[in-house]
Amino acid sequence: MAETLIGSEIIKLAGIIKEKIRQGEKIHNLTIGDFDSNLFPIPSELENAIIQAYQAHETNYPEADGLLILREAIQKFLKGTLGLEYEVDEILVAGGARPLIFTIFMALIDEGDKVIFPVPSWNNNHYTHILRGKPVMLRTMAEDYFMPNASLIAPYVQEATLLALCSPLNPTGTVFSEKQLKGICELVLEENSKRSSEQKPLYVMYDQIYWTLTYGNYRHFDPVTLYPEMRPYTIYVDGISKSLAATGVRVGWSIGPRKVIQKMKSLLSHIGAWAPKPEQFATAQYFQDIQRPLNFISNLKKELLIRLEGIYQGIQSIKAKGYDVEAIEPQAGLYLTVKFGLQGAKTPDGKILRAAADVHDYLLQEAKVAIVPFYAFGDDPQSDWYRISVGTIERNTVQVIVEQLEKAIMQLQF
Ligand SMILES: Cc1ncc(COP(=O)(O)O)c(C=O)c1O
């Protein structure tokens, strides 16, 4: 398994970019789904509470499922925001979302079990590989904003164990519409109604780590709110990494049916991937007043949207000049989905851009802009679509980035 495990393609790209920066090149690095913590610091109240928790020596083992005060705070937050009502023993805290996703796969997937997920999507291929599951990768369409429809999934649900969904989606920053998600819930409920109690049901992992970051009229929908009957089958993944710009703080949580959550807890206790106790303590304090995170998020969204809009408008203006570029209007998260239809074009030094990797290298070389091709998320190497992440750029560099992209594109021969 380990011999054939592919490392993260994004981390590989990041290595190339870091090396260029080390050699003194000025690169606009739009590849990582992270924040520059000087531009986007965590809330100061959270930072102070973390320091205070260390000073108060909250430094021994936390409870295996997370501090009760934190699970109570999460319970209150979910009820007050999404209207989801869960008991504290249906909530599991871990060191970010990743260990939770990992333990969901471990708890549910035996060798050969079918795992359905759309592509492009983030890391489901790797988790399926590690658990020796059988991946069913369903390619989504730009017209659907790269979100899967029930009709795409329907032919594969029979005997499937897990449907791994994410909204808002990494890499696209797009969300499920109510209709799309309802259709999928109906499909899952129908499939489960056919299964006997001896069989594993079809579970849904619902990764909503970006849910607080929606823009304009785009709203976040979730399975259990739409269909309460989905409750026994839905395991949510959530946390503070993105919503509080706190990727390095490492606090995430899952909510779901007690039976699955308790199995995840056992697995997690063997891995030991708990959130650090001082960070749990501080997060619990920070969430005591729901309005506090909501105010922080509102400001974070404003800043992210300025950058997303700036690049979106810039791409539209390049398109208006007749180039085969496109961008999906910002819907959520820190990502913009952009099409660079540049394959087949000839560079000034006579090279033909034959695949997405060549386009990526050309834009890195000429525009000094680093982006992630969708093939890094399981899509086709020929796909013309790319992810642009705005968590590391300053407001005033947006214009520079667009100008450099435009200049590089204009130098190509079509
Ligand atoms: C969809 C999605 N889920 C989970 C994660 C991981 O979150 P965490 O840093 O809390 O492990 C990421 C990180 O990029 C993500 O994009």
Read off the pLDDT of residues 294-305 as tens digits, 9 standing for 90 and up: 999 999 999 999
In this structure, the answer to whether residues 120 and 177 fall within a common structural domain is yes
Q: Is residue 141 one of the residues assigned to a domain?
A: yes
* CATH assignment of the domain containing 336: 3.90.1150.10
- How many structural domains are present in the chain? 2
**Nearest atom of ligand 1 to the alpha carbon of 251:** 10
Instruction: For residue 336, give its domain range.
Output: 9-40+295-410
Q: Whole-structure pTM over 0.95, yes or no?
A: yes
Binding site membership of 93 for ligand 1 (Cβ less than 6 Å): no
Q: What is the pLDDT of residues 106-143, one digit of tens each?
A: 999 999 999 999 999 999 999 999 999 999 999 999 99
Distance 350 CA to ligand 1 centre (A): 40
Provide the pLDDT for residue 220. 98
pLDDT above 80 for 171: yes
pLDDT above 80 for 332: yes
pLDDT above 80 for 74: yes
Any residues with CB less than 8 A from the CB of 91 and at least 6 apart, and which?
A: 65, 66, 71, 74, 75, 253, 254, 255, 261
Among the three residues 249, 268, 289, which one is the final residue of a domain in this structure?
289
Binding site membership of 104 for ligand 1 (Cβ less than 6 Å): no
Nearest CA to ligand 1 atom 4: 97
In this structure, the answer to whether residues 191 and 226 fall within a common structural domain is yes
Q: What is the pLDDT of residues 264-280, one digit of tens each?
A: 999 999 999 999 999 99
pLDDT above 80 for 103: yes
What would the mean pLDDT of 358-370 be, rounded to a whole number? 95
Q: Is residue 116 one of the residues assigned to a domain?
A: yes
In this structure, the answer to whether residues 102 and 90 fall within a common structural domain is yes
Q: Is residue 206 one of the residues assigned to a domain?
A: yes
- When the pLDDT of each residue in the chain is averaged and rounded to a whole number, the result is 96
In this structure, the answer to whether residues 29 and 63 fall within a common structural domain is no
Residue 11's pLDDT band (cuts 50, 70, 90) = confident
Distance 117 CA to ligand 1 centre (A): 16
Residue 10's pLDDT band (cuts 50, 70, 90) = confident
